[in-house]
């Protein structure tokens, strides 16, 4: 059975790599509060581990603070513990069913560490995009070898794959530049 070349599918996979990058970057802590900071937090609730968003509402009442409204009174302690144990450097203050979290200023060294992590995420996204490009080009070469495509068509399609790759990598670089600017902003 011959594989079918689908440029739209390759573009979708490249876009997926960029969406993952944007999610990872959103979770990186800058000096500002963002509900995405708590996305990796998992809470022991009702005999299982679940994302914090399934037991509480996260809001940003002011630029350097988060408020976590826990729905079930009995879960406040578990949510508090989960946030403290998540190694995010955050210490919630409990006020009834609301946990208030002050986001501390980042010092210069911490900012540089965050930028390095952001660069690592971006590089992983670029590698994923290049893998998608390689998969597409491999399919094209196989189609050419099986005489299911002419050399001209193969070259044209390779150029389209490269164009999609360049576009996806430019998107990843733009997301990184934006996050880097946000992190370094004092």
Cα separation, 41 vs 49, in Å, equals 10
Specify the pLDDT at position 2.
52
Residue 1 counted as domain residue: no
Are 63 and 91 contained in the same domain?
Answer: yes
Mean pLDDT of 122-149: 94
Residue 179 counted as domain residue: yes
Cα separation, 48 vs 71, in Å, equals 17
Mean pLDDT of 34-47: 83
Specify the pLDDT at position 35.
81
**Domain end marker among 102, 128, 161:** 102
Q: Judge whether 15 and 168 are in contact, CB under 8 Å.
A: yes
Specify the pLDDT at position 136.
94
Per the listing, tokens 């050399």 go with 151
Structure tokens at 8: 């739209």
Q: Judge whether 179 and 121 are in contact, CB under 8 Å.
A: no
Are 145 and 86 contained in the same domain?
Answer: no
Q: Judge whether 179 and 28 are in contact, CB under 8 Å.
A: yes
Cα separation, 159 vs 165, in Å, equals 10
CATH of the domain at 146: 1.10.132.20
Residue 2 counted as domain residue: no
Q: What's the pTM?
A: 0.68
Mean pLDDT of 159-183: 94
Domain count, the chain: 2
Q: Is the pLDDT of residue 184 over 50?
A: yes
Are 113 and 174 contained in the same domain?
Answer: yes
In this structure, of 103-107, 125-129, 174-178, the range with the lowest mean pLDDT score is 103-107
Angle in degrees, CA 64, 113, 129, rounded to 5: 100
Specify the pLDDT at position 31.
65
Are 135 and 158 contained in the same domain?
Answer: yes
Residue of 180, 183, 164, 179 lying closest to 16 (CA atoms): 164
Q: Is the pLDDT of residue 1 over 80?
A: no
Mean pLDDT of 48-69: 89
Are 122 and 75 contained in the same domain?
Answer: no
Mapped onto helix, strand or coil, the DSSP state of residue 112 is helix
Residue 180 counted as domain residue: yes
pLDDT band at 45 (very low <50, low <70, confident <90, very high): confident
Residue 58 counted as domain residue: yes
pLDDT in tens, 94-114: 999 899 988 877 778 878 888
**Structural domain containing residue 94:** 35-102
Between helices 151-184 and 7-26, what is the axis angle to 10°? 10
Mean pLDDT of 157-184: 93
Residue 94 counted as domain residue: yes
**Domain end marker among 77, 102, 127:** 102
Residue 156 counted as domain residue: yes
Q: Give the residue with greater pLDDT, 18 vs 86.
A: 18
Per the listing, tokens 């070469």 go with 141
Are 180 and 123 contained in the same domain?
Answer: yes
Are 40 and 97 contained in the same domain?
Answer: yes
Percent of the chain at pLDDT > 90 equals 50
Q: Is 21 exposed, middle or buried (0-12, 13-18, 19+ CB in 10 A)?
A: buried
CATH of the domain at 94: 3.30.1360.40
Beta strand ranges found along 71-166 (DSSP E): 93-95, 98-102
DSSP H helical ranges for the chain: 7-26, 76-85, 108-145, 151-184
């Amino acid at each position: 059975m011959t594989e079918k070349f689908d440029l739209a599918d390759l573009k979708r996979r490249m876009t997926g790599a960029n969406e993952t990058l944007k999610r990872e970057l959103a979770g990186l802590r800058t000096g500002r509060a963002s509900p995405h900071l708590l996305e990796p937090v998992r809470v022991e609730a009702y005999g299982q581990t679940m994302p914090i968003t399934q037991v509480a509402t996260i809001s940003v009442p002011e630029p350097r603070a988060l408020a976590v409204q826990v729905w079930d009174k009995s879960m406040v302690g578990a949510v508090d513990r989960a946030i403290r144990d998540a190694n995010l450097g955050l210490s919630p203050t409990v006020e009834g069913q609301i946990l208030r979290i002050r986001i501390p200023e980042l010092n210069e060294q911490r900012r540089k560490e965050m930028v390095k992590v952001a660069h690592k995420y971006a590089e992983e996204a670029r590698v994923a995009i290049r893998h998608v490009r390689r998969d597409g080009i491999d399919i094209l070469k196989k189609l050419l070898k099986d005489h299911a495509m002419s050399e001209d068509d193969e070259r044209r399609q390779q150029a389209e794959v490269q164009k999609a790759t360049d576009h996806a990598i430019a998107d990843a670089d733009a997301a990184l530049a934006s996050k880097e600017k946000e992190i370094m902003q004092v």
